Amino acid sequence: MDVQRLDDLMLSAPAGKRLAVLGDPIAHSLSPAMHNAALAEMARKAPELAGWAYAAIHVPPERLKEALGLLHTEGVAGINLTIPHKVQARDLVETLDAEAQAMGAVNTLVRTAGGYRGTNTDGYGIRRAVEEAFGMDLGGSDIWLFGAGGAARGIVVSCLQAGCKRVTVINRTPSRLRELEDQVHSSGVADRDRVRFRLLSEAPVDSGAGSLLINATSLGLVESDPSPIGDDFLKEGTRVYDTTYGIRNQLARDCAERGIPYADGLSMLVWQGVRSLEIWTGEPVPADTMRRAAESCLRERKGHG
């Protein structure tokens, strides 16, 4: 995949038809393959979408503000944000919608006359992904969320808004955990009895049958990474959703050994992408086309590995 850089930006689509994902790193992203495949199919039914194109742009965190100004000038109509930009972008956009405000993180930007409006499709992505993988609704569920970064912010708020029975957030770093706790309580989406925040070293292990464990850490992006979820949590009757994807990591192997249902994060990536593209174009988006493009891209990478 060709990765664009701010200092030699060459976007192929006309102004107003440009879409992009920004991250650091970004070369691994499946988003361009997914979105461009969907746009090509959508253009056959909606000719006004002909010529739209989605690019990956490498943007280090210290240049995010500069990048958003440049891309606005260049007529980039929509932007996805991935690691490490989701939290920083809150303070750089012109406006935040209610979803992004509650989550304290932004992953989708929509161009306005004066800048970008920020929203978040991670919550939509996790809801659809869990339903697809396990046939379960987040409402009424006991959720265990490992991690407190940008993706975790969207997930915890989405679980609470969906009416989960309880969500327990577990993280290694105290400062990141406290920041997320403050964000969630200030958002007003849940009473304190329905959400717990615990350091990994002090985490309770009262998960049980029917609990959903979600890995929202970056552990698992490399096959040799240790599992972010300890053996004590992997009990009979639990299910595991891993937001990393494309790797047969330690968490996946542990679940297989114990017969615990496991799904990786490709479906979440697809569904949050579907929602972003719906927002930008106002048209129905072929989720299956996005999924096939993502799976094909992963197979190609493994074949060259």
Question: So which residues are the catalytic ones?
Answer: 86
Rounded to the nearest angstrom, the gap between the alpha carbon of residue 43 and the centroid of all alpha carbons in its chain is 26
Handedness of CA 125, 131, 137, 142 (dihedral sign): negative
Of the candidates 134, 128, 123, 127, the residue with the CA atom closest to the CA atom of residue 210: 134
Q: Do the bridges between strand 142-146 and strand 166-171 make them parallel or antiparallel, or are there none, so unpaired?
A: parallel
Which H/E stretch holds residue 76?
A: strand 76-81
Using CB atoms within 10 Å of the CB of residue 295, give its burial: 0 to 12 exposed, 13 to 18 middle, 19+ buried.
middle
CA distance 76 to 8: 16
Tokens of 78: 């929509």
Residues 20, 75: contact at Cβ < 8 Å? no
How many Cβ atoms from other residues are within 10 Å of residue 247's Cβ?
Answer: 18
Tokens of 142: 């006991």
Tokens of 228: 């972010």
